[in-house]
């Protein structure tokens, strides 16, 4: 691909309001943007979506930052990569660190698509021109205001963050405001085996799904719960690879999977998981990480694949940030977001603002 140089940006974007789960409140979003440049000056962008502290996965912004500089980017520039799908093999000797790997692969995919003068969606076989959007309601959101926003923008479902042992009353409060709002809840892995009866009791509320009720990596408890309830169980943190997804399907531990590019190690793995689920007749959806518009654009390309039939966590650029890293924000219109059809990820990065909000910038090549 004739790579010439790279730049790494450690950015911080303030949130319009705190994003709160049982694990705590997020007031600003730290992250990493990788900019790859080829010999003809074309630029590809990828994003490292680890958080500042390891409450979601074991990765952090700092650990990704170090690994990118010391291992992943040197490997990339020492190799002769001709296609983005070669990246997982290139990094096979490095255990875990899926989000750091995905940042590199994302930048390579964007650059490759631009070199082909094609959209990233078309390069990966996407068939949909719009992605159905879903909103996330955090514990610190004003329910009335957020549900009004959901109606105004036409979101097709809402995902409710819940507090343990207050799930039913929180769900019922939403239903009191809008009885017809398609609703799911996110357990974020906070439940234990003793909570199986509690979760099974929620079956009567006819939720769209219960996402990741048990700890990451736990297939057995998810399988046991899914056997007891009609409500689909969705896996999130438990699936960090194609192999995890295959085991989940073999064990019938879920009826849907939330695919996040960063969590599974990159676009190539995300595509493989999509294909596996499609062959098994399992619908999937695209998750979000309260990330910038650069990562959102990658997510939209992934969501163009035919198996993404459930509305994802695909909010517009203005959902969490007063100002994003894009020249033109991504917007929800009529419950969907148009999948960019320009070259690569199809969005223009605001390079000046990216530099402004970055506390550290490293160059190399």
| Catalytic residue annotation | 161, 260
Q: Considering only CA atoms, which of 18, 42, 9 is closest in space to residue 117? A: 42
- Do the bridges between strand 256-259 and strand 3-21 make them parallel or antiparallel, or are there none, so unpaired? unpaired
φ/ψ of residue 223, rounded to 5: -60, -45
CA distances from 283 to 235, 242, 275, 286, 306 (A): 12, 15, 10, 11, 10
Q: Considering only CA atoms, which of 49, 103, 99, 108 is closest in space to residue 79? A: 108
Q: Say if CB 50 and CB 100 are below 8 A apart.
A: yes
Cα distance from N-terminal residue to C-terminal residue, the chain = 13
Distance CA 71, CA 46 (A): 17
Q: Across-strand partners of 20?
A: 25
- Do the bridges between strand 336-338 and strand 130-132 make them parallel or antiparallel, or are there none, so unpaired? antiparallel
Q: Say if CB 239 and CB 270 are below 8 A apart.
A: no
Residues 6+ apart with CB under 8 A from 14: 27, 28, 321, 322
Own/partner pairs for 77-80, CB < 8 Å, 24+ apart? 77/3, 77/6, 77/364, 77/365
- H/E stretch holding 36: strand 24-38
DSSP assignment of 150-202, as one string?
HHHHT-SEEEEE--TT-HHHHHHHHHHH-TTS-EEEE-TT---GGGHHHHHHG
Distance CA 69, CA 63 (A): 10
What DSSP character marks residue 29?
Answer: E
């Amino acid at each position: 691909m004739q790579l010439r140089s790279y730049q790494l940006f450690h950015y911080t974007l303030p949130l319009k309001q705190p994003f709160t789960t049982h694990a705590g409140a997020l007031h600003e979003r730290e992250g990493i943007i990788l900019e790859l440049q080829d010999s003809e000056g074309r630029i590809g962008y990828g994003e490292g979506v680890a958080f500042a502290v390891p409450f979601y996965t074991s990765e952090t912004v700092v650990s990704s930052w170090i690994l990118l500089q010391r291992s992943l980017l040197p490997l990339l520039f020492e190799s002769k990569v001709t296609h983005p799908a070669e990246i997982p093999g290139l990094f096979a000797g490095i255990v875990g660190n899926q989000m750091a790997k995905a940042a590199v692969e994302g930048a390579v995919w964007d650059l490759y698509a631009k070199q082909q003068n094609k959209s990233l969606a078309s390069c990966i076989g996407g068939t949909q021109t719009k992605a159905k959007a879903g909103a996330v309601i955090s514990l610190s959101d004003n329910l009335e205001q957020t549900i009004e926003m959901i109606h105004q923008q036409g979101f097709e479902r809402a995902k409710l963050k819940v507090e343990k042992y207050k799930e039913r009353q929180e769900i019922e409060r939403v239903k009191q405001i809008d009885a017809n709002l398609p609703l799911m809840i996110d357990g974020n892995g906070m439940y234990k085996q003793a909570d199986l009866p509690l979760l099974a009791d929620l079956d009567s509320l006819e939720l769209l799904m219960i996402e990741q009720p048990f700890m990451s990596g736990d297939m057995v408890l998810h399988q046991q719960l899914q056997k007891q309830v009609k409500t689909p169980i969705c896996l999130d943190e438990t699936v960090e690879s194609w192999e995890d997804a295959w085991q989940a399907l073999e064990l019938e531990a879920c009826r849907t999977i939330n695919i996040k590019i960063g969590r599974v190690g990159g676009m190539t793995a995300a595509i493989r998981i999509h294909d596996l689920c499609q062959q098994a007749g399992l619908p999937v959806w695209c998750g979000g990480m309260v990330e910038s518009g650069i990562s959102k654009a990658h997510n939209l390309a992934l969501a163009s694949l035919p198996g993404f039939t459930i509305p994802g966590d695909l909010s517009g650029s203005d959902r969490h940030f007063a100002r994003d890293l894009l020249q033109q924000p991504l917007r929800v219109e009529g419950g969907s977001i148009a999948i960019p059809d320009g070259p690569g990820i199809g969005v223009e990065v605001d390079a000046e603002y990216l530099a402004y909000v970055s506390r550290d910038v490293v160059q190399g090549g």
